[in-house]
Amino acid sequence: MADLVSMQPNLKLDLFIVAPDERREKVFYEINRPAFARLKPPLPKICRFIPYLELKKEVEQIGNRIRYMRPEFISEIAESCEPDYT
């Protein structure tokens, strides 16, 4: 993903990582490494995390209607990878 962002900095798209729930902290750690946080745009700002089981559950609920879904439904279940300093 870092290569894509650095080679195409004007490309405006959302990036998603789907991983098992237990890998959440590792994904957040890696996305927020200084090398990725300094990209233009910073990877934590454009990359979001989707827990695998959550995605699986949503797709199973939607069933065959998945072909009618707009891509934005993915954004609704994705979590920001930006650090929460609160």
What is the residue extent of each domain of the chain?
A: 2-80
The terminus-to-terminus CA distance of the chain in angstroms comes to: 27
pLDDT reported for residue 2:
66
CA–CA separation, 12 and 31 (whole Å): 18
The ranges of the chain with pLDDT < 70 are: 1-9, 11, 85-86
Residues of the chain above pLDDT 70, percent:
85
Cis peptide before 41 (omega within 30 of 0): yes
Residue holding tokens 């870092």?
Answer: 2
Q: What is residue 48's three-state secondary structure?
A: strand
